[in-house]
Each structure stands twice: as structure tokens, then as C-alpha cells.
Amino acid sequence: MKSSFFHTAAQARPVLRRVGRHAGVVFAALAMLWSCTLWAAVQCTAHSGAQRQALVELYTSEGCSSCPPADQWLGEMGKTGGTDQQAHFIPLALHVDYWDSLGWHDRFAQHQFTERQQSLSERAGSHIVYTPEVAVGGFELRDWNSTAAFKSSVAKINAQPSGADIQLSLTPDSAGPTTADLDAHFTLPAGAGTQGVQAYVAVFENNLTSQVKAGENTGATLHHQFVVRQWLGPVPITDGQARITQKIALTPDVNVHGADPTGVVAFVQNSQGDILQALALPECH
């Protein structure tokens, strides 16, 4: 919006000189107010489609020596996740905390991600969690590092009709580009059962870097993409509707070197674990 304001001011200068200096000051003040109003009105939106997007979850940890290759894989595959004509998916990296007691504390780890992974394992009839683990559409995919197997799994999900409608919007604050109001609206098709259906929002960051000084990855420089920093939900869907609103930070954590601004992912999951629909919205100003 700044470039738009400066363009307007530049066009106005010849007129300001003809009407006088004081009028020019008043006009410039009005132009600034108009610019701020436009900034407040800016809104970035996304709306889910008729087919399902596959949510891809990587359970990982900086304390795990076998995780960096998986982190790299997610980053590379995620670059084409929305443009690959054969496989449309949305990547997220969820750092678990059960490695933290073994020499290195992962600053991106959250215990709720460990709990989510445990639920994933229990649905599969297992009581074992491990890293790296990949889930596609809510279920474990053991051969995720096979490109053919991964794309086949994603394509099967893409072929299914959407099980939910999702609308996402981010409205930057009028005070500046540091925070925004998030509004996520979830709707189930008419007649769909709502028992155990829940809505979620994840806020992620890209290009995160860590210098590991202990544990299995001692001395390594680790690079991460799509790291979930904030997790909202689960919010039950009742009467076919749910809504999540939250003010979120658009600038990266100043304590995390090299972090890029955030993006947002919203999804709907049923009690059996199926991701009924997912939607991503990159940060916008």
C-alpha cells in the first residue's frame, strides 16, 4: 500500500502547487489518512475448492539425527505442492518434544504435537511414535520418501470431493504490517454428520535456521520450512458450522534468525482421522 500512496502523492503535487502551500499540506494529510484507510481495508482471502487438498504432516525434531533429510524433503516437495498437476498438497512440519530430554532442546517443539502424533498412532492400532514420521490426509505413509508412492497417496486424496468448505482471510492491522486479524470459517455440506468433526488453524514460518550444539545433531546447521509456530483448535463443528478468529503476528520471531513471515493453514478432520479438506493462505500485506 505504500507504493500506492506515493504514486497518488506524486500525481497530486502539480495540483498542490497551483492551489497553494497550505492547501497542499491539508491535501497531503488527507491523502495520508486515505492511505491508512486503504491499508486497514486490505484483505487477503482464500476459498477451498470442490476437490480435496491433501494435508501432509511431518513429525520431526532437531534432536533426531534421521530428521534433517526429512526436513529437507518437506522443504523441497513443498515448493511444488500447490503447482504440481499430479499432486496438490499442503505441507506442515510439527516438531515434537520427546527428544528434548536427550541433549538438545528443540525451540520449535510443542507437546501438543506429540499428543497429536500419539493420537495418529493409536488410530492405526499402535502405541509407538517415532521421527521422522509423515502423515498424508490424516494417516501414516511409511514410504513417503518414494516420490511415486507419495504422489500416488496425494493423488488419491485429490480425487475425492471436498468434505468441507473453508474460507480464510487475513486483514492487516491499520497500525502497521506486524499483526493481522485471522478469520477462518468452516462449513460442512448439508446433511453431513458433525459428530467428532473438528476445525483447526496452523500458523507456520519458513526459512528457519538452527545451530545445534548438543545431542545427535551436534555441530549441524539445520534448515526448516513450514514449521508450525501457533496451533488453534480443535474447535468442534456444530450445526455444520465453525469459526476461528485470532490476531496473529505477521513478522517472524525476532529470536529466530532468518525466519520469513508467516502463512496460515486451515483444515477439517473427522473422528476417524480423515482430513476432509485443507486450505493454505500465505501471508499477505
Average pLDDT score over residue span 97-108: 96
Band of the pLDDT at 85, cuts 50, 70, 90?
A: low
Does position 1 have pLDDT exceeding 80, yes or no? no
What does pTM read for this prediction?
0.82
Does position 5 have pLDDT exceeding 50, yes or no? no
Quickly list DSSP for 135-186.
EETTEE-TTTTSHHHHHHHHHHHHTSBPSSEEEEEEEE-TT-TTEEEEEEEE
123-128 LR contacts (CB < 8 Å, sep 24+): 123/272, 123/273
- Per residue in 254-283, pLDDT (tens digit) is 455 555 667 999 999 999 999 999 999 986
Does position 41 have pLDDT exceeding 60, yes or no? no
